[in-house]
């Protein structure tokens, strides 16, 4: 069963709550670790050109790798990275924890050991500062330990050996389970809720998130088409799990669905072995390239490559391909062709759980291969990847955007 709820209308730069002048107290939680789409979503909630967002890596012991990952995400999004470390001395940080946090537009808490983090926050009075931040309308966010901390309590692996219950700040009066797609955590959490050891609450799989406004679910999002969030409660006949109706986030600048044409296919590369080698369409060009690779004729690939790639592949040599590898290449399933002017991508499935994208550019009426990309865990994910990456990949291959389509500069069209 899917829950329907009052939606908050999320725009690129702001969030408007119908009938309210102020955005309210907002907490955005997600099941896994911090990722670019979720940080971009937080930026949209803030609605400022230069948002001040502070990352708290307390749960990971101020791990340097996590901090570098945060800085990389901020650089990608064009925002200044702020970090609040707790393993510091007074000479390193002249500002109090409270002053630092209350000067932010949003606070993002990283994953790690929730129990240790809550203990440090208590004795450093960071918990009190976060409560003040919440009341002042500063957006609170985080995943894993960074999501569990805002709830009354929930499931954690903070203690050795076994899963256990850890108390949070109680800003959201529900229980919570991050990483709900992990079978052991899901089973443990469900059992606690059905036995009333935990109150009803919300669970997020990795890559899925929930926005709460003034303690009420206002939005449910994910960074791929598989991840889900749930409302978990005890019903009259036992456990009651409702799937929240979710939408997939797109990176800023992604193609609109109306900007490209999609043609679906059903078959494998080997089904077109008798077709002539051709670059007349993206589909035929893809089949031709795959047949060359299946036969180990890599030296013949250069003429099929786009100009930006041709010099780099001109030195490829033929190589032996055993029957197993050849059969694998010929068994690649062709799912769809996505075409936007002189730029296109072929969606193919190369294994049981992996989709790929092959990009093509039309040069002088011939479709030339511009390389391969990771599509994702589903055909829908591959299409999302195409929509998000098309502007960058097209530009890197000498195409310009005109009237919502990508055009090859030398094509004369």
- Are residue 65 and residue 206 in the same domain, yes or no? yes
Q: State the pLDDT at residue 405.
A: 87
Give me the mean pLDDT over the 139-161 stretch: 95
Catalytic residue flag (residue 258): no
Q: State the pLDDT at residue 342.
A: 96
Is the model's pLDDT at 141 over the cut of 50? Answer: yes
- Are residue 266 and residue 369 in the same domain, yes or no? yes
DSSP annotation of 148: H
Of 216 and 93, more confident: 216
Worst-scoring range by mean pLDDT, 1-15, 124-138, 372-386, 399-413? 1-15
What is d(CA 102, CA 15) in angstroms, rounded to the nearest whole number?
A: 21
- Are residue 166 and residue 227 in the same domain, yes or no? yes
- Are residue 191 and residue 265 in the same domain, yes or no? no
Inter-CA distances, 152 with 16, 107, 214, Å:
27, 19, 15
Is the model's pLDDT at 19 over the cut of 50? Answer: no
Of 42 and 9, more confident: 42
Domain finish residue from 192, 213, 248: 248
Catalytic residue flag (residue 144): yes
Residue ranges making up the domain that contains 65: 2-248
**What Rg, from alpha-carbon coordinates, does the chain have?**
25
Q: What's the CATH code of the domain at 401? A: 3.10.450
Write out pLDDT tens, residues 223-281. Answer: 999 999 999 999 888 999 999 999 999 999 999 999 999 999 999 999 999 989 999 99
- Are residue 74 and residue 155 in the same domain, yes or no? yes
Mean pLDDT score of the chain: 91
Out of 60, 144, 158, 222, the active site residue is 144
Q: State the pLDDT at residue 23.
A: 80
Domain finish residue from 195, 221, 248: 248
Helix residue spans in 21-104 (DSSP H)? 36-46, 64-77, 97-102
- Are residue 95 and residue 231 in the same domain, yes or no? yes
Domain count, the chain: 2
Out of 176, 179, 225, 268, the active site residue is 179
Domain finish residue from 230, 248, 266: 248
Q: State the pLDDT at residue 395.
A: 94
Enter the pTM of the model.
0.87
How large is the greatest C-alpha to C-alpha distance in the chain, in angstroms? 74
Q: State the pLDDT at residue 346.
A: 98
- Are residue 244 and residue 261 in the same domain, yes or no? no
Q: What's the CATH code of the domain at 100? A: 3.40.50.880
């Amino acid at each position: 069963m899917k829950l329907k709820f009052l939606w908050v209308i999320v725009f690129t730069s702001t969030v408007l709550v119908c009938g309210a002048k102020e955005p309210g107290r907002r907490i955005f939680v997600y099941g896994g670790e911090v990722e670019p789409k979720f940080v971009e979503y937080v930026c949209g909630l803030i609605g400022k050109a230069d948002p001040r967002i502070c990352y708290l890596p307390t749960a990971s012991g101020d791990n340097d790798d996590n901090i570098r990952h945060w800085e990389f995400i901020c650089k990608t999004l064009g925002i200044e990275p702020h970090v609040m470390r707790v393993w510091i001395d007074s000479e390193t940080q002249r500002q109090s924890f409270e002053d630092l946090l209350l000067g932010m537009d949003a606070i993002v808490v990283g994953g790690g050991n929730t129990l240790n983090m809550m203990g440090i926050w208590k004795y450093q009075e960071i918990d009190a500062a976060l409560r003040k931040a919440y009341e002042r309308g500063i957006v609170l966010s985080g995943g894993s330990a960074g999501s569990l901390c805002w709830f009354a309590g929930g499931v954690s692996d903070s203690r050795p050996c076994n899963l256990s219950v850890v108390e949070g700040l109680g800003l959201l009066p529900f229980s919570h389970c991050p990483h709900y797609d992990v079978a052991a955590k899901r089973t443990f959490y469900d059992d606690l809720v059905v036995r009333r050891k935990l109150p009803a609450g919300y669970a997020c799989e990795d890559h899925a998130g929930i926005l709460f406004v003034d303690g009420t679910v206002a939005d449910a999002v994910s960074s791929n088409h598989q991840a889900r969030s749930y409302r978990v409660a005890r019903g009259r006949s036992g456990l009651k799990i409702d799937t929240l109706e979710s939408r997939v986030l797109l990176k800023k600048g992604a193609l609109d669905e109306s900007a490209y044409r999609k043609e679906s296919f059903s078959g494998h590369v080997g089904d077109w072995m008798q077709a002539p080698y051709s670059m007349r369409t993206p589909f035929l060009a893809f089949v031709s390239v795959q047949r060359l690779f299946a036969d180990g004729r890599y030296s013949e690939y250069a003429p099929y490559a786009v100009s930006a790639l041709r010099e780099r592949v001109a030195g490829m040599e033929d190589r032996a391909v055993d029957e197993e590898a050849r059969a694998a290449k010929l068994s690649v399933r062709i799912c769809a062709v996505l075409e936007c002017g002189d730029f296109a991508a072929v969606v193919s499935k190369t294994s049981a759980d992996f989709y790929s994208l092959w990009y093509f550019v039309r040069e002088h009426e011939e479709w030339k291969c511009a390389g391969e990309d990771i599509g994702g865990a589903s055909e829908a994910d591959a299409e999302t990847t195409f929509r998000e990456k098309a502007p960058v990949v097209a530009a890197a291959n000498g195409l310009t955007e005109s009237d919502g389509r990508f055009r090859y500069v030398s094509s004369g069209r």
